[in-house]
Amino acid sequence: MLNKSIMDGDNPDLTEERMKGAFDTDKMAAVIYGSEKFAIRRREITESISRIPQLADSKPFSFMTREEKISESCRKLSVLSEHWNQLIDTNNEEEALHLYREVLGLEGHAFSLHETMFIPSLVAQANDEQQEKWLGRAKRREIIGCYAQTEMGHGTNLRALETTATYYPSTQEFILHTPTETALKWWPGALGKSSNYAVVVADLVIRDTHYGAHPFMVQLRDEKTHNPLPGITVGDIGPKMAFNGADNGFLGFNQYKLPRDHMLMRHSRVEENGTYTKPPHAKIGYSSMVKVRSRMAMDQGLFMVSALVIAVRYSAVRRQGFLDDKSREVKVLDYQTQQHRLFPSIARAYAFIFCGFETIQLYDQLLIDVKNGDTSGMSDLHALTSGLKSVVTHQTGEGIEQARMACGGHGYSMASYISEIYGVAIGGCTYEGENMVMLLQLARYLVKSVELVKTGKSKELGPMMNYLAEPDTQIDLTSGPEAYVKVFQHAARRQVWKATDKFHQLMESGQSRDIAWNNSAVELTRASRLHTRLYIMETFIRRVSSISDVSIKKVLIDLVNVHVNYEVLDIGTYALEHVSSTQLDSIRSQLYSSLDTLRPNAVSLIDSFQISDMQLRSVLGRRDGHVYTNLFEWAKASPLNQTHVLPSVNQYLKPMMDKAKL
Ligand SMILES: CC/C=C\C/C=C\C/C=C\C/C=C\C/C=C\C/C=C\CCCCC(=O)SCCNC(=O)CCNC(=O)[C@H](O)C(C)(C)COP(=O)(O)OP(=O)(O)OC[C@H]1O[C@@H](n2cnc3c(N)ncnc32)[C@H](O)[C@@H]1OP(=O)(O)O
Ligand SMILES: Cc1cc2nc3c(=O)[nH]c(=O)nc-3n(C[C@H](O)[C@H](O)[C@H](O)COP(=O)(O)OP(=O)(O)OC[C@H]3O[C@@H](n4cnc5c(N)ncnc54)[C@H](O)[C@@H]3O)c2cc1C
């Protein structure tokens, strides 16, 4: 069986789609998840979870209040604590993340930041003695931690953080203090009610000199009572657009004393007498952010996939309207507009995940290099992940919203669960650096690269920047996906140079650097987007070229064709400077035929992600495809339907109507 999702009793429309798939979905899962071994482990973990009934949702998330969501996730975490070793290899981050996604979902929980930022901060920033003291406890989950950096008044501009950590050699202590209301830490996930420790980022002050943002390990709550310690004000910031299973929190310090060895001292140090040793790279303390950014292409790709699993399966069972055959309505997936809405996002999701694998590996390598004293790769990875997180989160938001609309009215219902996926994913445009700000970080790197070319130092260009020094050439669009890469290279190069020239000209005209930068910023962000999209396209093509299995490679080439045609058309205004409008018309025709080619494999392409019904939490997107029965059952379970007459009817509506009758 090529599509391993085929089961007796499933909706025949979905079974028909799965029969059409021309490749083995287990083999595709191995490509998606990087190895056959991990693809198998995912399935085993999912299977083992299903054998522990206490790990199942006690009711649909959509019917839970915020308090119930928080309580439910804590309940499951306590069940999980009995089963960690039996379910996963606890040293394997990907296995742990899969387990969290399955059991806890995407709405957040007490450990949301523990694994993703608290432990990584200790790994990257704590010295050996500090790791000895805290890392084991954190890994064993004896303590719960979070990452408290953003303040009410400042998130982006880290140099303006107001929380101070002032060192006093006389007592060998830091005093943490929140001098104003705007200095309250505000937003950190799992801070409000769950965490008893935090890595707190504060402005280090020694003898009136401000050394800027540094990380500190801070105990927030008593380990026995869980009450906040004296000098600490902590709480939940209230409901959010989504992610309401998490207690994003606020935190204030009132002259809170912290022993000297609680500053994380792997890279910078404060000696007993107050002597400060600066780190080998000024931004080394920002590593936890780079770590999360390096994961985001993968995680956002998976968010988009979840919405696409729902929309593609639903589109294969939803029948509405007619094409040739007037005796039976067609599956809405047969409409070209529906394919155009969904298939380019499938392609992007695959591309994002392949990029994510690369950036995760680059971060892991960087961590090793930095430990060995080599910080030379930091700027490259910072630039790459700044651009990537911005483009990927934005396009994921667009893709999920299109998926919702592709489900018509039912997409708007929480039964689809797409609105929650959207709400959580779209947070990525903001967290880990607001997208515009991060595009501008990449732009700094691009401008510097052009300056290297201009001054005859092209040999010093960083990885992936060589195209900036190359001349425009003729593009032969019949030569395959590489020709489309060339279009992107031309467009990105021209935009990067154009934005840089504008910036330089404004400075030459007398504007200060910062003002000239601000007046070029829109052009600079456009340059960053094009550069990043070029990287995504190149990575996608490179990964697909490396595949040896013929049937898998064939369908992924079909997907690449959708991608390259769609992407070039999507940057039409830039592409037109390099290809004619007649060529664009021909690309348009190729896009439509590539949608047609992909159509029979659409369901298998999204089934290959092997996202379980438990993880998906969508009534509309369930594997069995019995959409209407499932939808009706779900609606009947709504708390509103547990009684025929609501108390509010008796209290308000009935008296109102009775009065109107008099
Ligand atoms: C996201 C989830 C992760 C994993 C998920 C795991 C599992 C998923 C399972 C389920 C998921 C379910 C749900 C997820 C949903 C919800 C979210 C959960 C978690 C969310 C976590 C969010 C955590 C946070 O948001 S933490 C706070 C993040 N804050 C920021 O990002 C602040 C942004 N600001 C900055 O980074 C800096 O201020 C700045 C970079 C913008 C500027 O810094 P600064 O002013 O100091 O420098 P500049 O003057 O601008 O630059 C000087 C030079 O330094 C270079 N530079 C800057 N940074 C770096 C760096 N990091 N490395 C190297 N170099 C750097 C800069 O380029 C300049 O160089 P130049 O040569 O001088 O030009
Ligand atoms: C779901 C979620 C989870 C989070 N989790 C955490 C966490 O665990 N820990 C933590 O510490 N923080 C966390 N945060 C906070 C998050 O990191 C910040 O909100 C984020 O970095 C953006 O900063 P800001 O809120 O200050 O935005 P602002 O910088 O105030 O952005 C407002 C606007 O100003 C623009 N802007 C700002 N500066 C510039 C500039 N230099 N150039 C051009 N435009 C600019 C932005 O583009 C944006 O349009 C979380 C946030 C969310 C939404």
Task: Report the percentage of the chain scoring pLDDT > 90.
Answer: 98
Whether 407 shows a pLDDT value over 90: the answer reads yes
* CA 292 to ligand 1: nearest atom: 3
Task: Report the percentage of the chain scoring pLDDT > 70.
Answer: 100
Q: How many domains does the chain have?
A: 2
Domain at 215, CATH number? 2.40.110.10
Catalytic one of 107, 151, 358, 432: 432
Q: In a 3-state reduction of DSSP, which class is residue 488?
A: helix
* CA 434 to ligand 1: nearest atom: 33
Domain end: 256, 282, 308, which one? 282
Cα–Cα distance, 57 to 613 (Å, whole number) = 11
Cα–Cα distance, 161 to 431 (Å, whole number) = 16
Domain at 570, CATH number? 1.20.140.10
**Is there a domain that residue 13 lies in?**
yes
Pocket test for ligand 2, best of 121, 152, 156 (most atoms within 8 A of CB): 156
Q: Tens digit of pLDDT for each residue in 617-650?
A: 999 999 999 999 999 999 999 999 999 999 999 9
pTM of the model as a whole:
0.98
Asked whether residue 154 falls in the same domain as residue 256, the answer is yes
Asked whether residue 250 falls in the same domain as residue 327, the answer is no
**Is there a domain that residue 473 lies in?**
no
Q: Tens digit of pLDDT for each residue in 221-243?
A: 999 999 999 999 999 999 999 99
Q: Sorting pLDDT into bands at 50, 70 and 90, what band is 403?
A: very high
**What domain range includes position 262?**
144-282
Whether 597 shows a pLDDT value over 90: the answer reads yes
Q: Sorting pLDDT into bands at 50, 70 and 90, what band is 358?
A: very high
Domain end: 257, 282, 307, which one? 282
Asked whether residue 297 falls in the same domain as residue 386, the answer is yes
Domain end: 233, 248, 282, which one? 282
Q: Sorting pLDDT into bands at 50, 70 and 90, what band is 382?
A: very high
Whether 479 shows a pLDDT value over 90: the answer reads no
Asked whether residue 262 falls in the same domain as residue 351, the answer is no
Asked whether residue 242 falls in the same domain as residue 320, the answer is no
**Is there a domain that residue 431 lies in?**
yes
Measured in angstroms, how far is the CA atom of residue 124 from the centroid of ligand 1? Answer: 15
Whether 578 shows a pLDDT value over 90: the answer reads no
Q: Tens digit of pLDDT for each residue in 150-176?
A: 999 999 999 999 999 999 999 999 999
State how beta strands 197-206 and 209-219 pair. Answer: antiparallel
Cα–Cα distance, 652 to 662 (Å, whole number) = 16
- The complex scores an ipTM of 0.96
Q: Is 225's C-beta closer than 6 angstroms to any atom of ligand 1?
A: no
Asked whether residue 192 falls in the same domain as residue 265, the answer is yes
Cα–Cα distance, 97 to 593 (Å, whole number) = 38
Q: Is 243's C-beta closer than 6 angstroms to any atom of ligand 2?
A: yes
**Is there a domain that residue 256 lies in?**
yes
Determine the average pLDDT of the residues in 294-317.
98
Q: Tens digit of pLDDT for each residue in 195-217?
A: 999 999 999 999 999 999 999 99
Q: Is 113's C-beta closer than 6 angstroms to any atom of ligand 2?
A: yes
**Is there a domain that residue 52 lies in?**
no
CA-closest candidate to residue 601, choices 118, 62, 18: 18
CA nearest ligand 2 atom 1, residue: 427
pLDDT at residue 138 in the model: 98
In terms of C-beta density within 10 A (0-12 exposed, 13-18 middle, 19 or more buried), how is residue 184 classed? buried
150 carries a ligand binding annotation: yes
Q: Tens digit of pLDDT for each residue in 519-573?
A: 999 999 999 999 999 999 999 999 999 999 999 999 999 999 999 999 999 999 9
Asked whether residue 607 falls in the same domain as residue 510, the answer is yes
Q: Sorting pLDDT into bands at 50, 70 and 90, what band is 486?
A: very high
Measured in angstroms, how far is the CA atom of residue 563 from the centroid of ligand 1? Answer: 29
Tokens of 365: 């390598």
Whether 463 shows a pLDDT value over 90: the answer reads no
Q: Is 437's C-beta closer than 6 angstroms to any atom of ligand 1?
A: yes
Tokens of 267: 């890279």
Look up 36 and say whether it is catalytic: no
Asked whether residue 185 falls in the same domain as residue 197, the answer is yes
Residue 10 to residues 7, 22, 191, Cα–Cα distance (Å): 6, 20, 43
Asked whether residue 304 falls in the same domain as residue 429, the answer is yes
Determine the average pLDDT of the residues in 322-343.
98
Long-range contacts formed by 537-541: CB under 8 A, 24+ apart: 537/351, 537/481, 537/484, 537/485, 537/488, 537/563, 537/564, 537/567, 538/464, 538/485, 539/351, 539/354, 539/355, 539/358, 540/347, 540/350, 540/351, 540/354, 540/355, 541/481, 541/482, 541/485
Whole-number mean pLDDT of the chain?
A: 97
Asked whether residue 200 falls in the same domain as residue 302, the answer is no
Q: Is 158's C-beta closer than 6 angstroms to any atom of ligand 1?
A: yes
Determine the average pLDDT of the residues in 188-192.
98
Pocket test for ligand 2, best of 187, 291, 513 (most atoms within 8 A of CB): 187
Cα–Cα distance, 5 to 31 (Å, whole number) = 17
**Is there a domain that residue 106 lies in?**
no
Q: What sections of 217-335 are H helices per DSSP?
A: 287-317
Cα–Cα distance, 162 to 173 (Å, whole number) = 19
**Is there a domain that residue 405 lies in?**
yes
Determine the average pLDDT of the residues in 484-503.
97
pLDDT at residue 65 in the model: 97
**Is there a domain that residue 124 lies in?**
no
- CB under 8 Å to 231, separation ≥6 — which residues? 253, 254, 255, 256, 257
pLDDT at residue 478 in the model: 87
Measured in angstroms, how far is the CA atom of residue 155 from the centroid of ligand 1? Answer: 10
What counts of helices (H) and strands (E) characterise the chain? Answer: 25, 11
Asked whether residue 234 falls in the same domain as residue 260, the answer is yes
* CA 290 to ligand 1: nearest atom: 61
Asked whether residue 329 falls in the same domain as residue 223, the answer is no
